[in-house]
């Protein structure tokens, strides 16, 4: 039986990935902070599930998680845990921003590196780092740290994908870069989307289709793909102002 390891599995995109891989007959390893939610999800899924609670803000817990996985053969890793924060950089809570960078970047990096080394040794596997369309824009005023954190994810993934290609590796890595998705993200980030969000189900549907095609950067919905393509033709200063205008709309709702 194949195994999928999923972080941030207690809600939204992570939970939908868990349901989808369970439907495909995968054994699951699920990680998140909220043990009760992990246990509820475990009860709902008709496949073997290993629960490994962890607070990924803590670097030591990220490393312990890798130690706990030492004996596992993992086929798919969904590196999903993350959250956002909105507001003027002058006003936002620095502690929340540092926590965000720890989860979105440091934990993502530690787990990406650790599972990639494991898959390289075993000679196969797929890793999906969940970024955001935000990471494909030059900057995001009024969500400055979040945009920067997701740019790190997208840049790192694309670089590693090229390195693996040059090695002829059988390990596949990709990043998911959705636009708005209707999850608990808004509540945590204290925003309301200025654009209509898609469901977690649609996001995962399009992501899995992209993974089957071995795409490195997966952007759900044609509308968002056109937006990302169109930014290449806009002056960067104008584009950053336009992005900032959209973020202000989120704060006003």
List, in sequence order, every residue forming a beta bridge with 127; answer none if it has no partner: 77, 173
146 catalytic? Reply is yes
User: Hey, is 165 helix, strand or coil?
Assistant: helix
Helix 94-101 to helix 144-167 angle (10° resolution) is 10
Between CA 5 and CA 31 the distance in angstroms is: 8
Q: Which one, of 78, 85, 71, lies nearest residue 32 by Cα?
A: 78
Residue 157 tokens read as: 């993934």
Sign of the alpha-carbon dihedral angle for 220, 113, 125, 28:
negative
CA distances from 30 to 118, 120, 215 (A): 18, 22, 25
171 φ/ψ angles, rounded to the nearest 5 degrees: -90, 130
Structure letter (DSSP) for residue 1: -
49-51 and 76-79 strand pairing: unpaired
> Which CA distances in Å does 56 have to 41, 61, 66, 69, 87?
19, 6, 12, 15, 24
Of 26, 146, 147, 172, the active-site residue reads: 146
How many residues are given for the chain?
253
Residue 118 to residue 175: CA distance in whole angstroms: 19
Residues identified as active-site: 146
């Amino acid at each position: 039986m194949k195994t999928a390891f999923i972080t941030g599995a207690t809600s939204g995109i992570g939970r939908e990935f868990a349901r989808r891989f369970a439907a495909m007959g995968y054994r699951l390893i699920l990680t998140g902070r909220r043990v009760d939610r992990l246990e509820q999800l475990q009860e709902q899924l008709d496949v073997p599930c290993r629960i490994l609670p962890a607070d990924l803000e803590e670097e030591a817990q990220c490393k312990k998680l890798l130690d706990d996985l030492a004996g596992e053969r993992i086929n798919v890793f969904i590196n999903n845990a993350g959250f956002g924060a909105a507001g003027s950089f002058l006003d936002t809570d620095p502690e929340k921003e540092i926590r965000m960078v720890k989860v979105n970047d440091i934990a993502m990096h530690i787990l990406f590196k650790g599972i990639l080394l494991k898959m390289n040794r075993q000679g196969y596997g797929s890793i999906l780092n969940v970024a955001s369309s935000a990471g494909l824009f030059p900057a995001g005023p009024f969500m400055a740290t979040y945009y920067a954190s997701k740019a790190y994810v997208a840049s790192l993934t694309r670089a590693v994908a090229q390195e693996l290609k040059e090695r002829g590796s059988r390990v596949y890595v990709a990043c998911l870069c959705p636009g708005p998705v209707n999850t608990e993200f808004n509540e945590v980030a204290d925003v309301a989307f200025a654009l209509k969000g898609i469901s977690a189900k649609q996001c995962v549907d399009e992501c899995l289709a992209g993974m089957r095609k071995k795409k490195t950067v997966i952007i759900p919905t044609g509308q968002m793909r056109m937006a990302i393509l169109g930014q290449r033709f806009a002056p960067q200063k104008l584009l950053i102002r336009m992005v900032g205008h959209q973020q202000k709309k989120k704060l006003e709702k």
